[in-house]
Structure 1
Amino acid sequence: MSSPADPPSVPPLRVRTAVPADLPALVTLEQSAFAGDRLSRAQYRRHLASPSALVLAADAPGIALLGSALVFFRTGSVRARLYSIATAPAARGRGVGAALLDAAEHAAWARGCRAMRLEVRVDNAAAIALYERAGYRRIGGYPAYYDDGADAWRYEKVLP
């Protein structure tokens, strides 16, 4: 029997490669997860079809899309770029971001990449904590990187 202090039960999380049928849910998730710098329907459509991009989707049985990640690959490069991780507001703090990050790293390794880079808003403490817990180290920054003028940190992890 659970007490009021127990966290709600979470169905088993599944991370998979997104498919074109996920497009409406990906766009909805993007709108709910970010106030700006959002990917458009056309961008997602292009990334879903591109051999140089990987769109991951996190879901659970009977639940709408809980999160997504977008990774870019350059031919001949040993570095992948994590462009975005989006988590549904109701799923934050439940390991969705960590599961997507882990899946993105495994996919990059499988494609021959030996490092992953990313940018993160300097005021996004939750994302910074996630990346640092996962072994990413800060390697630089970009002033006024985002649409609203916010600065970004650049992080990198050598993939084990």
Structure 2
Amino acid sequence: MQPPPVTASVRVRRAEVSDLDDLVALEESSFVQDRLSRAQYRKHLDSESALVLVASANHRRFLGTAVVFFRKGTTVARLYSIATTPHAQGKGVGSALIHASENAARGRGCRSLRLEVRKDNAVAIRLYERLGYVRIGEYANYYADGTGAFRFEKLL
């Protein structure tokens, strides 16, 4: 059965322990390699240096997640991971998660948000560029399968 369409009322909030099963399931369905484990998600949920966000609609319908890392002594935050469920892709969920990540980074005094993206992920690259991210570099053989990454940054 096809899930109902995503509505415009996407809500982004900090993830809770009760979201753990949904977080792990989305991670496993979204990424073949370079996945966050259940234990890593559990650690990040309680960490001062990480923020796990979830997007939902219609009171708990899980649509996506973003993980942001913060380091003491720097004003640069890092969008470490972002994923949306297949039926939510192209419906503004990724944009909502990125905006919430930017707001969280600003709230912690960060001046920029950086990220890495697979060189072959044209959809994500277009999204980041549309949202004002600028390519600042690249890494060869960044991912486990040998694919390179582009580095992007947005000044907040």
Give the TM-score normalised by structure 2: 0.94
Q: What's the counterpart of residue 114 of structure 1?
A: 111
| Deviation for aligned residue 1:75 | 0.7
Residue 43 in structure 1 maps to residue 43 in structure 2: no
The question of whether the paired residues in 2 share the 8 Å contact of 1:16 and 1:56 is answered with yes
Q: What's the counterpart of residue 4 of structure 1?
A: none
* SS of 1:30 mapped into structure 2: helix
Q: What's the counterpart of residue 67 of structure 1?
A: 64
Structure 1: 5+ residue stretches without partners: 1-7
Amino acid at match of 2:31: F
* SS of 2:129 mapped into structure 1: helix
* SS of 2:66 mapped into structure 1: strand
* SS of 1:57 mapped into structure 2: strand
The question of whether the paired residues in 1 share the 8 Å contact of 2:116 and 2:150 is answered with yes
Q: Distance in 2 between matches of 1:11 and 1:27?
A: 25
Q: Which runs of 4+ in 1 moved over 6 A?
A: none
Residue 26 in structure 1 maps to residue 19 in structure 2: no
In the TM superposition, 1:8-157 aligns within 5 A as 8=5, 10=7, 12-62=9-59, 64-157=61-154
Q: Tell me how many residue pairs correspond in the alignment.
A: 153
Q: Distance in 2 between matches of 1:103 and 1:12?
A: 14
Structure 2: 5+ residue stretches without partners: none
Amino acid at match of 2:149: A
Give the TM-score normalised by structure 1: 0.92
Aligned-residue RMSD, C-alpha:
1.4
The question of whether the paired residues in 2 share the 8 Å contact of 1:58 and 1:100 is answered with yes
The question of whether the paired residues in 2 share the 8 Å contact of 1:143 and 1:151 is answered with yes
Q: Distance in 1 between matches of 2:8 and 2:107?
A: 27
Q: Taking every aligned residue pair, what percent have the same amino acid on both sides?
A: 61
The question of whether the paired residues in 1 share the 8 Å contact of 2:6 and 2:91 is answered with no
| Deviation for aligned residue 1:90 | 1.3
Larger Rg: 1
